[in-house]
Amino acid sequence: METVALAEVASVLADPSRAAMCLALLDGRAWTVGELAASAGIRPSTASEHVTRLREAGFVSAVRQGRHSYVRITDPRVAELIEHLAQHAAQRPVQGLRESVRVRRLSFARTCYDHLAGRLAVALRAGMVRAGLVDVSAGLTLTGHGRAVLTALGVTVPDAGRRPLLRDCLDWTERREHFGGALPAAILSHAVTEGWVSRQANRAVRVHTVEPFTRLGVAPGEVARPGAA
């Protein structure tokens, strides 16, 4: 039974167009079918068929905003599955300058569904622990000092819910952990809103200001200069 279920899941991503659409959705945003079609280089009607397959498999869900309908990844667990598969695919050799630049940008900073990943995210985890913002001695716990620093930066700390506030997520480019969970999602959302960072094509993230990250414990040398990535 498990073998059949695994084969069914694998078949969903076996199609290159569906795989491309899922990779696009890893940026955490909701996309229209037309946007997904453009990202995969296929017709909207074909993209609609693929979205139906993804929805039936539980990979994506529909979100309606007024007259518009959007598609987004169902939950963080699905995003992690796609991210880990992307990790495996990324082990092939880099071919060409353009791909090399893309890989460097993704390695520095990218979105992992709704939180930061890459070298910057790994440095952020290490910095928050080093600065006493997060206590790892008894699980991952946001300290009172950490809450105060985040509040001063304007980050709203999420209330306790079904999703953990903090959890470790293995970074596939750095082979070290970065933070996942509700709090890192709130940090990324606030960083984008305030212009600390901006989302780029293919999930890359560009840093525009260093100061907020240094206040979170990241050493200045671990953050690319504003505008670089």
- Side-chain half-sphere exposure of 22, counting CA atoms within 13 A: 29
CA distances from 224 to 105, 167, 202, 209, 221 (A): 11, 25, 19, 9, 7
Q: How far apart are CA 140 and CA 150, in angstroms?
A: 16
Q: How many CB atoms lie within 10 A of CB 135?
A: 15
DSSP E strand boundaries for the chain: 60-65, 68-73, 110-112, 115-117, 134-135, 141-142, 167-170, 177-180, 197-199, 205-207
Residues 26-48 have pLDDT tens digits of 877 788 999 999 988 999 999 99
What is the C-alpha R_g of the chain?
18
Q: Which three-class secondary structure state does DSSP give residue 229?
A: coil
pTM over the 0.85 mark: no
Smallest Cα–Cα separation from 214: which of 140, 128, 87? 128
Q: How far apart are the first and last CA of the chain?
A: 45
Q: What CATH number does domain 2-74 carry, 2.40.160.40, 3.40.50.970, 1.10.10.10, 2.102.10.10?
A: 1.10.10.10
Q: What's the whole-number average pLDDT of the chain?
A: 83
Instruction: List per-block mean pLDDT (blocks of 10 residues) for the chain, which spans 229 residues.
Output: 64 86 82 90 92 90 82 83 67 42 70 88 96 92 96 94 87 85 95 94 87 94 61
* pLDDT at site 174: 82
List the chain domain ranges.
2-74, 93-222
* pLDDT at site 92: 47
Q: Which three-class secondary structure state does DSSP give residue 71?
A: strand
Contact 184, 168 (CB under 8 A): no
* pLDDT at site 10: 75
